[in-house]
Every structure is written in structure tokens, then in C-alpha cells.
């Protein structure tokens, strides 16, 4: 059985409403499907999502860690999550990004919802 586009878009919309916050950390272990949090959370880095964009079978979220949040960290991981209750939906690791008091860090992640034969 394959999921129809209508069903995939309903799942996308549900996922979109659940993910409300972004948080960064300095953990370096590769992300896995078993992760339930960031490896090492950067204190003060949690922010509300800036924007969400949807299209057929597609969701894009953008979040900004401003220059006044969690200064002095070299971020290596980011998580997209619900805030209350705190549940992580996605954890991504990347090369270190230095965070100074002069620059914001903008994260953008895209999710694609696919069915059979697509």
C-alpha cells in the first residue's frame, strides 16, 4: 500500500504544527533514529521557529539563533522540537559553526513526504 498525496500532506501539516522550536548544541555523535534530545545542549540557544513554508509533500522550517543567544559556542548540532512537552522531532549534526556576538546563525531544514513510486 502506498500513501496518497492527500494523506502525505495531512502528515506534513500535523508535523508542521508540532515543531515550534529550534535548539542548538555542541555534541558530535552522529544523529540516529534513537535520539531523543541533543547530545550537549547549548544553554540559552532555544528559540521559537521563525517561519514555516509548505507545498505539496514538502515542509521547510527556518530558525535563527541570534547574536545574543548562546554566544561563544561552536555549534555542531541542531534540533527541531515541540516546546511543551519537550519532544525532539529531528536532530542534525554538522561541522562546527562559531557563534559570536556579531552574527546570527540561521538554520533552514526541509522535509519531504513521499509515498510509493515517487
For 13-40, the pLDDT digits (tens) are 999 999 999 999 999 999 999 999 999 9
Q: pLDDT tens digits for 49-61? A: 999 999 999 999 9
Closest CA to 93 of 45, 19, 44, 32: 32
Residues 6+ apart with CB under 8 A from 89: 15, 18, 19, 80, 81, 82
Q: Where are the domains of the chain?
A: 5-112
Rg of the Cα trace of the chain? 15
pLDDT classification of 102: cutoffs 50, 70, 90:
confident
> What is the C-alpha separation between 114 and 118, in angstroms, rounded?
6
Q: How many CB atoms lie within 10 A of CB 14?
A: 9
Q: Averaged over 71-95, what is the pLDDT? A: 90
Amino acid at each position: 500500500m502506498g500513501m496518497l498525496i492527500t494523506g502525505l500532506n495531512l502528515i506534513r501539516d500535523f508535523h508542521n504544527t508540532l515543531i515550534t522550536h529550534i535548539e542548538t548544541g555542541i555534541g558530535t555523535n552522529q544523529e540516529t533514529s534513537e535520539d531523543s534530545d541533543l547530545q550537549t545542549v547549548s544553554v540559552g540557544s532555544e528559540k521559537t521557529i521563525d517561519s514555516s513554508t509548505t507545498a505539496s509533500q514538502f515542509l521547510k522550517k527556518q530558525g535563527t539563533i541570534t547574536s545574543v543567544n548562546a554566544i561563544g559556542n561552536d555549534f555542531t548540532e541542531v534540533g527541531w522540537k515541540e516546546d511543551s512537552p519537550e519532544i525532539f522531532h529531528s536532530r542534525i549534526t554538522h561541522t562546527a559553526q562559531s557563534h559570536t556576538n556579531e552574527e546570527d546563525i540561521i538554520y533552514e531544514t526541509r522535509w519531504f513526504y513521499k509515498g510509493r513510486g515517487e
